[in-house]
Amino acid sequence: MIDFLLLKRIISENNSFLLSTHVNPDADAIGSEIAFCQILKKLGKTVNIINHSKTPYYLEFLDPENIIQKFDVEKHAHLFDEVDVLVALDLNSSNRLVKIEKYFNQSIKLKICIDHHQHPEEFVNYFFLDSSYSATGHIIFRFIKETNIVDLTKNIAVPIYAAIMTDLGSFRFDRTTSKIHHIIAELLDAGADPVDIYDKIYDQSNFSKIKLLGETLSSIQLNHSKEIAYMVVTQEAVLRTGADESEVDGFVNYCLSIKEVKIGLLFFEMKDGVKISLRSKGTIPVNLLAEEFGGGGHTNAAGTRLFDIRISEILTKIINRAEYYLNQ
Ligand code: 5GP
Ligand code: MN
């Protein structure tokens, strides 16, 4: 149970807030930040949103006032010791803040975390975390409904809709319930336009993304039992197609669209290491697999980043461990 009254009290007792989210932010990360920011602004609070990564172009519409800033040490480091409260959204371990981690952890200001991932690391004073929620945006929706802290206006409904819709895989993932659809009805009544939001996130891609998707799909291989599918994205392919890292978000899901495949893996070659995205069907806990390699996430969607290593050095190891979870 999340103590929403405590969250409300923290807001009322403080004036300035700094919000941040994870590297490679998705629509739940950005949507939660914007929705929470709008609540705070309606209450007259001062809000900064500072992220490690630039907002991907297909999510910029969620931030029409251009509030989110990409972290710059010179410009922003001092803020971590000046604001009253630091708020981490849609993450539960500080390493996902990357360049921001040091400033977040060093600060002696009040720190809170609003999130829906499993197995939190101790890095804040208060957690508002429950992994049964579909999205961090869903937690913010409940917070508004339970405390009546502000009205559910369109500028809050749109980012919350985007957060829930994307984290539920457009309402095809496990936690899609009738309760969720009732929430969605309220968000639509408050002004969220599902056609427009879907179009902006998924159907306004750069051509380069679709070219890279094509190459990535061509790279798919299956393990010997044909239950694990894996794909590779190289830096060379990214540079040649002109796509960027954020555009790879979602590619891994195609692995699970193959008959009999229960685990999907995407190996993304970064400049300084490998980012691995893991997906599964049913009860196969890919978060535990990711945790073995320093990452985490949810039962059916997890990830990790490994530094100073090549894909060829890690691929077989990960597939062997994936086979272990397959057979549990
Ligand atoms: P994605 O594969 O889309 O990047 O991430 C899938 C899920 O795994 C998300 O819920 C995300 O929060 C989590 N995740 C991705 N990368 C990491 C990581 O490096 N560490 C942890 N703890 N979780 C991650
Ligand atoms: Mn999320």
Ligand 1 pocket member 277 (CB < 6 A): yes
Q: Quick one: which atom of ligand 1 is closest to the CA of 249?
A: 3
Distance separating the N- and C-terminal Cα atoms of the chain: 30
Q: Quick one: which H or E segment has residue 135?
A: none
Measure 159 CA to ligand 2 centroid, in angstroms.
12
Measure 295 CA to ligand 1 centroid, in angstroms.
7
Closest ligand relative to 116 C-alpha: 2
For the segment 100-114, the average pLDDT, to the nearest whole number, is 98
Q: 141-148 — which CB contacts under 8 Å span 24+ positions?
A: 141/35, 141/183, 141/187, 142/2, 142/4, 143/2, 143/4, 143/7, 143/8, 143/39, 144/39, 146/4, 147/4, 147/5, 147/7, 147/8
Tens digits of per-residue pLDDT, 8-60?
A: 999 999 999 999 999 999 999 999 999 999 999 999 999 999 999 999 999 99
Does the predicted model carry a pTM greater than 0.85?
A: yes
d(CA 269, CA 47): 35
d(CA 196, CA 191): 11
Ligand 1 pocket member 305 (CB < 6 A): yes
CA 44 to chain centre: 27
Ligand 1 pocket member 264 (CB < 6 A): no
Closest ligand relative to 249 C-alpha: 1
Name the phi and psi angles at 23, rounded to 5. -55, 150
Residue 328 confidence (pLDDT): 87
Ligand 1 pocket member 295 (CB < 6 A): yes
Average pLDDT of the residues of the chain: 97
For the segment 211-240, the average pLDDT, to the nearest whole number, is 97
